[in-house]
Structure 1
């Protein structure tokens, strides 16, 4: 039985979360083919609406929904209170099936109060990191207010893949605080992060509820439920939430160009039938924040590029006009150490080696260059060199950012930014390396059970490199061309 952290992560990454063949029992589902015939139906259709589930298979979608289909254009569309039941109504949601087809979801209508526009509460733009943090706190506090959630968090992904709670709003009944605590990358596997990017939010209505299977008339492949609101939940994730004493949750993604930057996570300590209109209202506010964040990040990158280009132009002129190369290197190395916030730099060419500050051992340099060659990479960085490259026996270097630039067979340039060890503490939400053995045969490993603050003291790490390090390295190629 697998019990190691690496085996636990591998198990999580191999879960086909979109092909579970089951849904959450909060509603019922039809799956339609290109001809709008029902290929799959959830076995709880009679309990949620009417009719034996198998009686719908191979037939056209029920007539009560055929008119709605005319308004479907290939993207998720929501119809409030369209189907009448004995004492209430059902909402209807149409969503695409990747590769073709439609998921039709029926969910009990929640008649909560109307939420007025909240646009005036939030800024139009972000101009600084302080304004960004203020916006985050304002947004999650508002979400907590309108949903009466037990806890709402802004969960930001770091360059290492780990996550950190940078803002929190919680009810007085919430136990403890997760603010400024980190959680390991394995808590949200890459396969789950990819799914978060495909949808406006992910709602889990009851972590104790049993998933409801879909059935088909023939032995048809399991439908892809990537975009389904009611898609069932990974057993590992359910264990994780239950260990956190969470009974219902919603997560809204904060996206960059091609990556998940953060999640806004809402937790309830009781099962909750979320009002779709409120979730959609919050989603629009999250999108507004996301647009403002992207604009801010873009402006930050533009300013960084302009700043570095200005320095490149300056050093290019100095290289042409100066005869004293020692003074030239002294000035340039001081700028490089400031730009990369490092303790030493080295530039190596077939003709010369230029060094300043902390120096790298020749054997350490050889191992790093060999690693880049094996990986086929031009740039690489680490804040724990001995851990990432254990073949290095001993070194004074804790962190390195390296760039190799092969312009021609006789013109290979290497750049190293070097950092020494920096003892610092990291506050974790529980031990990040302690998955628990489970006695559930379907879940041989469950997530750790404790989320109390645990402080890790790091001795062999450097200060972590920021998200712009790779961009800076590639921008530096322009300057290296002149050397």
Structure 2
């Protein structure tokens, strides 16, 4: 798939956290470490009856300063105060500490009559792949019910960076379906993914609303709004949502460590704002599922590793009995092909190339050997060698798993597991390779307009390797190392 460099470059260089503006459904203040107000949104007068210009450089008003005293001093600290009185009604206060040490105060209307919800999210248990799929679907259906949005997607990120819709639930206003479709990595650029990881949700009540500027002291740069939910929309994102027919959106991240693995993405065809209490509840639903999935995956990984070691014990005895990996290759290679669902296996050392089944041709082997050079290269994984391996010639081998290990004598061995080409048909939400459109205005390079299903026939790819392939390879390397 071709990626349009100009479009991606513009997306990645947008300083989303330094936009200097917010969405208009709330107000925002930034406060320096000495308690002075450095920035105030231009709508403070309408929402709170406060003159933003007169606040700049002054101490924070007591009704806001008092609760702010409970905010931690370390970057990333957060605080939620459910009730602050304002001219236009009651407000909820969100406060966070940004990387520069500033306190960022968000004031959000929270005076809607809230529907009664259960106090506790249902306990989620996942014991099998089938239960994982079922719980994904239950999650998106429950969020449609609790949010009133028209569409909720479970959007998983693939190793390539592209996204795939694994579950979908529809409300009354939804048209068409996205289930099973993929979307290119450029739809959610890396700079936006980094912000998702650091926040429990991202709420956009009205995607077409005009942003409110932040007023600041003359010498004050824009505040870091990384942790602010009111952060304004990128013009690129605004146009993207418009093209998709989305008037309001909420996203909830699912993460492993600092890696964004999936999003729960909620869409509405009309502007819709949820109170903080509802957003908190929906976030709890997502967290409950995420915890159950992490527990399931941890258990599955451990079972896989235990099984690999158990199955290898018999092979280890044969390797020891026959005097090494080379001597036991006739027994080792079929086991490797079965264990990793490969079409062929190779063992390469100093002056030795052993093969079983599908294998790399001499020129292809030379290219792969160069790709795997270096003591720091322990594993390589590819389902598209022509794209991933530099100088790779045409070959019957389209996919590869590779490990490198040292024998006690200091010899470096490489083991390659090969897969043949398998034509694939991938369904995309719109043509990801459609030429970009250049236009005048704040968005000179526009995202695509159509999200209709577009089928791509992929050549030169093997069957995808499972997501735990790298972990399994590392375990195999350890076992082979012990057997030499």
TM-score, normalization: structure 1? Answer: 0.94
In structure 2, distance between residues paired with 1:40 and 1:407:
63
In structure 2, the residue corresponding to 1:105 is in which secondary structure?
Answer: strand
How far is 1:119 from its partner?
Answer: 4.1
Higher deviation after alignment, 131-140 or 408-417:
408-417
In structure 1, distance between residues paired with 2:208 and 2:173:
20
In structure 2, distance between residues paired with 1:22 and 1:80:
24
In structure 2, distance between residues paired with 1:10 and 1:405:
39
Change (3 A) 1:4 1:144: closer
Deviations along 1:215-258, whole A, 9 cap, x unmatched?
21222122111100101111111111111100110000111133
Give the alignment of 1:452-463 within 5 angstroms: 452-463=452-463
Q: Are the aligned partners of 2:428 and 2:454 in contact in 1 as well (CA < 8 Å)?
A: yes
In structure 1, the residue corresponding to 2:126 is in which secondary structure?
Answer: coil
Deviations along 1:343-396, whole A, 9 cap, x unmatched?
111111226332111010121121122233389533222212223346333211
In structure 2, distance between residues paired with 1:189 and 1:250:
17
Change (3 A) 1:304 1:52: same
How far is 1:10 from its partner?
Answer: 2.1
Gaps of 5+ in 1: none
Give the alignment of 1:322-341 within 5 angstroms: 322=322, 328-341=328-341
- 1:165 partnered with 2:165: yes
How far is 1:51 from its partner?
Answer: 2.6
Q: Are the aligned partners of 1:8 and 1:435 in contact in 2 as well (CA < 8 Å)?
A: no
Aligned to 2:98: 97
Give the alignment of 1:409-420 within 5 angstroms: 410-420=410-420
Aligned to 1:59: 58
Give the alignment of 1:123-272 within 5 angstroms: 123=124, 125-272=125-272
Deviations along 1:271-325, whole A, 9 cap, x unmatched?
1222111000111111111111111111111111111222333322222234798
Aligned to 1:19: 18
Aligned to 1:76: 78
In structure 1, the residue corresponding to 2:209 is in which secondary structure?
Answer: coil
In structure 1, distance between residues paired with 2:53 and 2:325:
82
- 1:111 partnered with 2:106: no
In structure 2, distance between residues paired with 1:350 and 1:367:
16
In structure 1, the residue corresponding to 2:167 is in which secondary structure?
Answer: strand
Deviations along 1:124-162, whole A, 9 cap, x unmatched?
x21111111111111111110111111001001112221
Q: Are the aligned partners of 2:26 and 2:109 in contact in 1 as well (CA < 8 Å)?
A: yes
How far is 1:409 from its partner?
Answer: 8.3
Higher deviation after alignment, 377-386 or 57-66:
377-386
Change (3 A) 1:415 1:325: closer
Change (3 A) 1:324 1:4: closer
Q: Are the aligned partners of 1:430 and 1:453 in contact in 2 as well (CA < 8 Å)?
A: yes
Q: Are the aligned partners of 1:435 and 1:447 in contact in 2 as well (CA < 8 Å)?
A: no
In structure 2, distance between residues paired with 1:379 and 1:411:
17
Q: Are the aligned partners of 1:150 and 1:268 in contact in 2 as well (CA < 8 Å)?
A: yes
Q: Are the aligned partners of 1:154 and 1:167 in contact in 2 as well (CA < 8 Å)?
A: yes
In structure 2, distance between residues paired with 1:131 and 1:53:
53
Gaps of 5+ in 2: none
In structure 2, distance between residues paired with 1:206 and 1:388:
41
In structure 1, distance between residues paired with 2:376 and 2:452:
41
Q: Are the aligned partners of 1:105 and 1:230 in contact in 2 as well (CA < 8 Å)?
A: yes
Aligned to 1:464: 464
In structure 1, distance between residues paired with 2:98 and 2:82:
21
In structure 2, distance between residues paired with 1:407 and 1:33:
59
How far is 1:50 from its partner?
Answer: 1.6
